[in-house]
Structure 1
Amino acid sequence: MQISSSIAAAQPDEGAQPSLQAYFKPDISPDDIEQVHRLRGAQPLLQGFTALFYGGADGILIRLLVLHELASDPNASTLTRADINAKLGYLEAESLETVLYRLRSHQLLNWDAGQGVYRVTPLARNILSAIDSLITLAQDDDDAEMGFLLSQVAGSQAVGGVTVEQLQHLLGRMVDLTEEFRDAIASGSEFRLRAAQEKWHTACDWVEKGSQILHAITNDPDADAATHRAAQAIGRAQSALLNMQGMFSRALNQIERQRVHLGQSGLSTTDIKTWLMNHEDLAGLASNAVAMPVTPMFITPSEMIDVAEAELFADKNTALPAALPAGENASIVSNEIPAMPVELDAWLNRLSAFAASAAKTASDGGSAGSKVQDTLLPASFAVASYRASLLPLLGDESEASLQGGTATMARLPLEFAPQDGMVTLKDPHVAAMSNATLAPISDNKPETQHD
């Protein structure tokens, strides 16, 4: 009995909540932590979230539903119990009373006993606004978390209250995306690369929307040094994201050169994998494919040694044939020249002619630069897209050190300069194109030394 009593006394009280100091080391005081002081100052807001999100998922959904219905009418500042019953008549009376009591006890609803009416508190409206913004962005198929972070920065900048923490959250998400895209490029998987490229396009849309906001922050004389440093770091992260277009193009071009085709059928391993990925039940493809199931045969090591010995002596005793078999004519297979190398050769000839003409114009003192659309067009949309995807290779030192058509293109004395914006074209195949110029490399730029 004494042992049982001592064991029972040593058990911790499951209902007791540990103090804040219990989470820290004995020689550390929570008051010395800056973030603890900041979170303590936001206790009313945190308690409001606790009131809504404590418990099971169904209870959380009902609390949010009730609070959203009560705050949905902006013209009604007060609500009687009859109004609440009319709005939420589809709920059980006891369940509704339980939810209203919880909202009242955590200052999300105010009860005016003198007038007998309810009022939705400003704290509740702020919480609902933040939740609705996140839910709205999450319903899209794009990178919702980056859009939410950027909307928080934009809203704070509009009212003059952007904080370093908000900028650091946005910077952290951009760094995560950059690492994710680099991992996709390093993987060498075409499917992962294309999925990452689609996500990259969405991220670039958010970068374009946030550029004006960051420009306003960096030019704000009232912003402190920490805010300026965070905004500048975000600008560098944006540049790193935008510069990944060339990395995606080179990786996809490398995969295209290494693509394996199945004979002369026109099918590639990518086509087969895409077809297999569209089937939810891969095992079902083998239905009725095998007439008789495979029957496993189990033998002991002794039988295995006997069979191996017999096979070994059978190979040794087999005599070589006295004469070689008669020769046969090799089958002749016509192999068509792929379309892309032909297009690459034509594109190299066109760029080489342009480089020579531009160099002559520059030596005569004229303007040697040209809009990129004048060089890419006329062409079909597929050919123009293929040509445009190769332009980032111009001046690429790593590609120029290799051999092949793309390496020859990288060594051309041309400079590709993309700019912001799109240019509308009057072309039957291409409606618009990125604003960019193509010009010969200036003489004052150092040339790459080749052995």
Structure 2
Amino acid sequence: MIDFADFLAPGVAADDVPELAPLAAAAPLIAAFITLFRGSEAEVLMRLLVLREIGQEADAPRWSPDALRGRFTYLDTVKLETVLKRLRDNALLEFADDGLYHLSDLGRNAVAAIAMLLRFSADEDTELGFLTAQLAGLQAVGSVTPEALGHLLSKLNDLTWHFEEAIASGSEFRILASRRRLAANERWLARGTEILNGLLADPDVSFDIARVAQRIGLAQSRLARADAGFQRALNKIEAQRVTLGASGISSSDVSAWLRRLDAARLASLADSALSIVPELTLLAGGHELIDRAETVLCDEVREREIDVALPPPDAPDAGLVPEQDDLALLEHFTRRLDDLADAAPLGAIVAGGGFAPAAYRLSLLALLADGETAIPATGPVGDFMRLAVDVTFGDRLVPLEEDGIAAISDGHVTPRTPQANAPAAALPLLDA
């Protein structure tokens, strides 16, 4: 028995609230949904995943524990067992005497309800589609209730209010979005009309059902007229649209661009463009205004205001020197390699001055070992590329522990002799 004492007002018993009776009677079904949706989002999604996968097997609805583990190999075994136990303990999943799992009646009903909600597309109104489909099913089995019709009527009135508010706002974007929403739900409105025609044509339908059905018909009529209201509002907006010069860009395009910007970007655009208080206060009477008008009409002032002459050009800065790259490290490294007498390991050639200069030298050696890079005719880079040395890179790392370098590729730099063959280059590695 559910205890409502903490929620009811003093002196009120649960039997005094008739609206609680149908909910209390459906406690097992409600407990099933509580089981599914209690906990973190990940836990809820995992329970729904397992329950839906078990329920989708129509030809063989019973599962052995090994079959379930094989089906959910992508889930952690312990977590899977926890989910199965939670579903089994709360009557959503049953474990038969033959050692096989299968969905209970409550579990199958829950899976079917969730599947119906998930089938609607993102453009459609999920609530309207679900309510209409539910009403169609109730009509098919002859169990339509005023409560089910009331839910649909409430949704239609809510849509009508939403569309009327969009038209009253005068916002082109809200009107277009509402129009798309109405177009996406046309099939549900048409299906609702068919259901109403069937209900009102039945001579045995109850008065309460007929009364709500007529109100639904009026609500659908208002929605049918909403599209014409959208078009009239868009025509007014089109008449007021402003085109920015001959660019072809309209005020709607500018508004759409502004709507895509975040708050920080909008604030930066408005910076120095708006002032909280007026920067200049003008106090003038009639005589002052007349004097100002006479001055503005003066030919001399008019010519000065329409003067469009360009300002004089600025003198160029003769002392401005183009920025040049600092190639001192390259030139120093070129002289070192040019004076190299014998073969030396990469570590001894590269190290010195820290990790960054060492990485720079290693990249230069890799460029030199490539052999296919175009060589500039002049300049420090060309001098470096024409050095008579061969660079080899091994496929393993050797420890160095110097200048912040933990390890470096095994390789050598060797002065070239006329008989030496160019060695094959490998990918250099430098580990900090």
TM-score normalised over the length of structure 1: 0.57
SS in 1 for 2:298: coil
**How far did 1:55 drift?**
0.9
Aligned to 2:14: 30
**Map of 1:436-447 to 2, 5 A cutoff?**
none
Of residues 200, 210, 213, the one that matches 1:231 is 213
1:6-21 pair list within 5 angstroms: 19-21=3-5
What secondary structure is seen at the aligned counterpart in 1 of 2:122? coil
Matches within 5 A, 1:406-425: none
Q: Select which of 247, 253, 258 maps to 2:229.
A: 247
Separation of aligned partners in 2, 1:254 and 1:233: 32
How many residues of Structure 1 are paired with residues of Structure 2 in the alignment?
287
* 2:299 match: 325
1:94–1:242 distance in 2 versus 1, CA, 3 Å: same
Deviations 1:250-282 (A, max 9, x none): 222222222223344443211222244455698
Identity over aligned pairs, percent = 38
Provide the C-alpha distance between the structure 1 equivalents of 2:41 and 2:222, rounded to a whole number of angstroms.
Answer: 40
Larger radius of gyration between Structure 1 and Structure 2: 2
In structure 2, relative to structure 1, the CA distance for the partners of 1:159 and 1:280 (3 Å cut) is same
The answer to whether the 8 Å contact 2:93/2:101 transfers is yes
| Local SS of the residue matching 1:128 | helix
Contact 1:108 1:124 in 2 (8 A): yes
Provide the rounded CA distance (Å) in 2 between the counterparts of 1:177 and 1:161. 26
Q: What SS is found at the alignment partner of 2:94?
A: strand
User: Counterparts of 2:212 and 2:297 in 1: how far apart (Å)?
Assistant: 82
Amino acid corresponding to residue 225 of structure 1 in structure 2 = F
Cα 1:279/1:27, change in 2 over 3 Å? closer
Deviations 1:34-91 (A, max 9, x none): 2210001111111111111111111111111111222221111322222222212222
1:47-446 equivalent positions in 2, closer than 5 A? 47-113=31-97, 115-137=98-120, 139-278=121-260, 283=265, 324-326=298-300
Query: Could you list the per-position Cα deviations for residues 105-130 of structure 1 after superposition, in whole angstroms to 9, with x for gaps in the alignment?
Result: 111122223x2222211211111010
Structure 2 gap segments, 5+ residues each: 273-278, 282-287, 307-432
Residue 323 of structure 1 and its aligned partner are, at CA, apart by 10
Q: Does 1:43 align with 2:17?
A: no
Residue 373 (structure 2) aligns with? none
Q: Is the 8 A contact 2:258 2:266 kept in 1?
A: no
Cα distance, 1:286 vs. partner?
A: 7.6
Where in structure 1 do 4 or more consecutive aligned residues deviate above 6 Å?
A: 284-287, 318-323
Structure 2 CA distance, aligned partners of 1:193 and 1:23?
43
Change over 3 Å in CA distance of 1:55–1:222 after alignment to 2? farther
Residue 131 of structure 1: CA displacement? 0.3
Q: Is the 8 A contact 1:204 1:242 kept in 2?
A: no
- Check 1:282–1:269 CA distance in 2 against 1; reply closer, same or farther (3 A cut): farther
Distance 2:176 2:297 in 1: 56
Aligned mates of 1:174, 1:226 — CA distance in 2: 18
Distance 1:323 1:224, change over 3 A: closer
**1:175-228 alpha-carbon deviations (Å, 9 max, x no partner):** 011011111111111221122122222333321122111111222334322111
User: In the superposition, relative to structure 1, how do residues 321 and 163 fare at CA in structure 2: closer, same or farther (>3 Å)?
Assistant: closer
Does the CA-based 8 Å contact 2:54-2:61 persist in structure 1? Answer: no
User: Matched residues in 1 for 2:144 and 2:51: separation?
Assistant: 28
* 1:145 positional shift: 1.7
Instruction: Name 1:412's counterpart in structure 2.
Output: none
